[in-house]
């Protein structure tokens, strides 16, 4: 057991700061009444910092250096904890009106996030600048613009992020269990899950407006650099030879997979992928950023770029991709993690990815303390942590496979196939084990079929994203070939999702209201995956998925 702790992530110096950062943020969120004492926490942090600078003077009093070093570490950890608590209170606004009922009002604000559907409706996040209700100013609200089913149909104005709009709407506070007097909800489970998601982002209000009541006051001055890149990539994806009636739906799915823009996905496509538990392939996250990073590393390797220079090429290009996607939180987190790992790999001898993962988590908490309460953060870091555990299994399997086919003709080709397919299997199994309880908590359901089809979907998504990006970069004549491969991958993925959804509808609905219970389950699964390596690494493919599946089955039954 001692060897396990020495080799595990517990031995890293960053681990206590990672743990304390999460603990302090959760503590501040749970005890929001302490917000009025934030200055005491700030002064306490300053006091611990002063103690840290002066504690070395005890060397002259006969204390050993090792003893002083241990005390310094505890002092720094406590200082960091108080700093995180203070930072949360300063950066996260409190919900002053949790029971604000539906009210008609007129307001104006800036669009922060924006997406539109094929039916002419739009949704996103608006920051309120002016309102008749004074307490709404500077708040972020979730908006939905749509036409009423009855009455005159209006055309939605052309909107984009950064526009200032004026709207007459109905606005209300978000509650996980709103009273029945607030209106009839068609799908209460789905609505409750979405409201829980919005509250995790500390968005406390939601509004609805008819399309005819929306007007643009001021247009965004100019497109940002990231928007221009996104427009270029979308244009390249639209100017290829697959724009025919048969493949239009697959083109929209490819754009959603590469750029995270799901506005071109039909409601039928969304429901099919939801039923199979594979909707995650359309969220730009660690999978997509990792694929692009590996692609860039491979190009650098072919071009014989020295290792110490690769980070200066990979990181800027990777950031441009994240910028093109609109800087979604999941992609930014994945970028921070990959960038940390790449820099450590370039400037040091050997760096374990788990260390980069914890460093990126600490950076993410410092940038935005509320991020740890989001579904994206929890899924991203739990899944990546699981993948890192399963990657060690894959390395051993790959070494054994390479040794057996060392003298076989086309050994390199078979090794490449093994890495691609078996690596995809490791990724999927590791992801499913920890993603199931988190998905059940946030979205009120999980798909059993997703456990079996995810390996195939991860492989097809990897091919689609990699070839789609290559096709967007290369000239149309050559790029069209890669885009055809990407579309073919998306087509087979869609057909498989449709087949599984129609013949094996295994979407189970659950109601988990305790987030700490989910954390215990995920932590237990990760710990079990770590411990079984000392017995037999192959147990990770048998015991861990079995335990994870049984836990979810009993949760569903109970």
Least confident interval from 136-145, 200-209, 257-266, 487-496: 257-266
Please report the pLDDT score of residue 263 as a whole number: 66
Mean pLDDT value across residues 440-459: 74
Joined together, the tokens standing for residue 206 give 């939601």
* C-alpha to C-alpha distances, 414 to 58, 81, 394, 402, 410, nearest whole angstrom: 62, 50, 15, 9, 6
Least confident interval from 38-42, 150-154, 217-221, 418-422: 418-422
Please report the pLDDT score of residue 12 as a whole number: 64
Mean pLDDT value across residues 386-390: 76
> Contact, 440 vs 555, CB < 8 A?
yes
User: Does 308 score more than 70 pLDDT?
Assistant: yes
Least confident interval from 201-205, 375-379, 380-384, 401-405: 401-405
More confident residue, 525 or 458: 525
Please report the pLDDT score of residue 190 as a whole number: 63
> Contact, 555 vs 508, CB < 8 A?
no
Beta bridge partners of 343: none
Mean pLDDT value across residues 21-50: 88
Residues 6+ apart with CB under 8 A from 545: 429, 432, 433, 451
> Contact, 157 vs 216, CB < 8 A?
yes
More confident residue, 134 or 77: 77
Most confident listed range (109-113, 302-306, 436-440):
109-113
Tell me the pLDDT tens digit for each residue of 195-248: 877 887 788 899 899 888 888 888 876 666 666 666 666 565 555 444 444 566
Q: What confidence category does residue 305 fall into, taking pLDDT thresholds of 50, 70 and 90?
A: confident
Please report the pLDDT score of residue 348 as a whole number: 58
Reduced to 3 states, what is the DSSP secondary structure of residue 280? helix
User: Does 72 score more than 80 pLDDT?
Assistant: yes
Please report the pLDDT score of residue 238 as a whole number: 52
Mean pLDDT value across residues 76-94: 89
d(CA 404, CA 401): 5
Q: What confidence category does residue 80 fall into, taking pLDDT thresholds of 50, 70 and 90?
A: very high
Tell me the pLDDT tens digit for each residue of 411-427: 777 777 776 666 666 76
Query: Hey, what long-range contacts does 466-471 have (CB within 8 A, 24 or more apart)?
Result: 466/291, 466/292, 466/295, 468/237, 468/254, 468/257, 468/258, 469/258, 469/292, 469/295, 469/321, 470/295, 471/236, 471/237, 471/240
Mean pLDDT value across residues 131-137: 84
Q: Is the dihedral of CA 511, 514, 520, 523 positive or negative?
A: positive
Written as one string, the DSSP assignment of 448-464 is: SHHHHHHHHHHHHHHHH
pLDDT > 70: percent of the chain: 79
Reduced to 3 states, what is the DSSP secondary structure of residue 146? strand
Please report the pLDDT score of residue 82 as a whole number: 92
d(CA 209, CA 219): 20
Joined together, the tokens standing for residue 418 give 């093994």
Mean pLDDT value across residues 260-270: 73
User: Does 403 score more than 80 pLDDT?
Assistant: no
Q: What confidence category does residue 364 fall into, taking pLDDT thresholds of 50, 70 and 90?
A: confident
Reduced to 3 states, what is the DSSP secondary structure of residue 283? coil
Least confident interval from 12-21, 125-134, 542-551: 542-551
User: Does 345 score more than 70 pLDDT?
Assistant: no
User: Does 288 score more than 80 pLDDT?
Assistant: no
Please report the pLDDT score of residue 370 as a whole number: 81
Mean pLDDT value across residues 446-468: 76
Q: What confidence category does residue 81 fall into, taking pLDDT thresholds of 50, 70 and 90?
A: very high
User: Does 270 score more than 80 pLDDT?
Assistant: no
Q: What confidence category does residue 5 fall into, taking pLDDT thresholds of 50, 70 and 90?
A: very low
Q: Is the dihedral of CA 306, 310, 313, 314 positive or negative?
A: positive
Please report the pLDDT score of residue 492 as a whole number: 85
> Contact, 93 vs 127, CB < 8 A?
no
d(CA 423, CA 404): 18
User: Does 365 score more than 70 pLDDT?
Assistant: yes
Chain-wide mean pLDDT for the chain? 77
């Amino acid at each position: 057991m001692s060897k396990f702790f020495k080799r595990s992530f517990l031995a890293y110096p960053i681990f206590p700061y990672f743990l304390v950062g999460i603990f302090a943020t959760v503590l501040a969120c749970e005890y929001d009444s302490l917000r009025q004492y934030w200055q005491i926490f700030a002064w306490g942090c300053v006091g611990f910092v002063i103690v840290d600078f002066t504690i070395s003077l005890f060397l002259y009093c006969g204390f050993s250096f090792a003893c002083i070093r241990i005390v310094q570490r505890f002092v720094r950890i406590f200082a960091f904890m108080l700093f995180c608590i203070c930072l949360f209170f300063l950066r996260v606004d409190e919900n002053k009106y949790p029971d604000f009922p539906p009210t008609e009002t007129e307001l104006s604000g800036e669009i922060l996030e924006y997406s539109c559907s094929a039916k002419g409706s739009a949704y996103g996040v608006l920051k309120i600048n002016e309102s008749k209700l004074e307490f709404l100013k500077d708040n972020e609200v979730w908006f939905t613009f749509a036409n009423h089913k009855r009455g005159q149909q209006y055309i939605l104005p052309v909107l984009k992020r950064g526009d200032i709009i004026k709207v007459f709407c109905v606005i209300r506070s978000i509650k996980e269990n709103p009273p029945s007097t607030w209106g009839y909800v068609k799908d209460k489970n789905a609505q409750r899950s979405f409201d829980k998601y919005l509250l995790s982002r500390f968005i406390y209000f939601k509004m609805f407006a008819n399309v005819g009541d929306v007007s643009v006051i001021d247009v965004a001055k100019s497109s940002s650099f990231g928007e221009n890149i996104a427009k270029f990539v979308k244009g390249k994806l639209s100017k290829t030879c697959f724009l025919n009636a048969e493949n239009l739906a697959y083109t929209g799915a490819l754009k959603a997979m590469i750029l995270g823009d799901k506005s071109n996905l039909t409601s039928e496509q969304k429901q099919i992928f939801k039923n199979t538990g594979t909707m995650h392939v359309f969220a730009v996250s660690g999978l997509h950023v990792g694929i692009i990073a590996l692609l860039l590393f491979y190009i650098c390797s072919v071009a014989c770029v020295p290792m110490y220079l690769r980070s200066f090429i990979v990181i800027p290009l990777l950031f441009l991709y994240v910028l093109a996607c609109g800087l979604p939180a999941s992609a930014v987190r994945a970028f921070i993690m990959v960038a940390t790992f790449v820099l450590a790999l370039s400037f040091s001898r050997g760096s374990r990815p788990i260390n980069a993962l914890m460093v990126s988590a600490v950076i993410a908490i410092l940038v935005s303390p509320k991020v740890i309460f989001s579904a994206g953060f929890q899924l991203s870091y739990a899944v990546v942590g699981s993948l890192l555990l399963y990657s060690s299994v894959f390395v051993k399997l790959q070494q054994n496979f390479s040794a057996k086919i060392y003298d076989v003709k086309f050994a390199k080709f078979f090794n490449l196939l093994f890495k691609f397919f078996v690596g995809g299997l490791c990724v999927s199994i590791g992801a499913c084990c920890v993603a199931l309880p988190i998905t059940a908590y946030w979205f009120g359901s999980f798909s059993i079929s997703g456990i079996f089809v995810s390996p195939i979907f991860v492989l097809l998504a990897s091919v689609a994203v990699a070839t789609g990006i290559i096709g967007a970069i290369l000239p149309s004549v050559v790029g069209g070939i890669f885009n055809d491969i990407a579309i073919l991958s998306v087509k087979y993925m869609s057909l498989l999702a449709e087949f599984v959804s129609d013949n094996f509808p295994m979407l189970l609905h659950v109601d988990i209201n305790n987030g700490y219970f989910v954390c215990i389950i995920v932590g237990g699964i990760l710990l079990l995956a770590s411990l079984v390596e000392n017995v037999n690494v192959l147990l990770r493919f048998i015991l861990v998925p079995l335990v994870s599946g049984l836990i979810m089955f009993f949760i569903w039954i109970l």
